[in-house]
Amino acid sequence: MTSPGHQPHASGSAPSIRVLVVDDHPVVRSGLIGMLSVTDDITVVGEAGDGSEALALVESTRPDVVLMDLRMPRTDGVTATGAIASGYPATKVLVLTTYDTDTDILHAVEAGATGYLLKDTPHAELLDGIRAAARGETVLAPPVAARLMSRLRTPAQSAVAQPSPRELQVLAAVARGLSNAEIGRELYIGEATVKTHLQRLFTKLDVDDRTRAVTVAIELGLLPNPRSG
């Protein structure tokens, strides 16, 4: 759903910041849109329920800022953020999520997000964050900034991004010789989700294939060595 573009302003006033709201929960979207719609310098140009819808609306509305949830069906927020950052550099992505894990934060930042805020952010701070993102400034919730600073202080420990528990479950199944379809059935997830976990593992472990991923994981102690039993 899209709304009109720039709203009229008094002579000499700054143009409205055009915002696209992306979240898979309709109630959350409605709440954000209601809050933003009564803000004089912000115009909501559309809303989307997943990353695929967001990309289509970015193409048609060219917003200044995308408020992006992370975990959504079909195309997730990190994937959509990467596509927006590479294809529409004038549009800034401000992540707005409930998740503040190291993995989520790093994936979003690496994908090109301008900022990362949590959904418990006070309204005034969220509005200031949108304005700052529109100016191209980095916006980080205090807990997120603390996590990033902690990782910068311990570069040796951060050299290899730690796989999530689910990613390690997938990799352990790969080590047992299971196919993607078999892993999906065993873990009750879709085959496409298995592929996504594997691609993230390849990136974290700096490898290009399944066999090498298993080997490196064993070397790093992430998986048990079958020869040590």
pLDDT attached to residue 227: 61
DSSP 38: T
Instruction: Give residue-wise pLDDT tens across range 122-146.
Output: 999 999 999 999 999 999 988 888 7
Three-class secondary structure assignment of 121-181: CCHHHHHHHHHHHHCCCCEECHHHHHHHHHHHHCHHHHCCCCCCHHHHHHHHHHHCCCCHH
pLDDT attached to residue 204: 87
Q: Which residues of the chain have pLDDT under 70?
A: 1-14, 150-161, 227-229
Q: How far apart are CA 123 and CA 73, in angstroms?
A: 26
> What's this model's pTM, rounded to 2 decimal places?
0.63
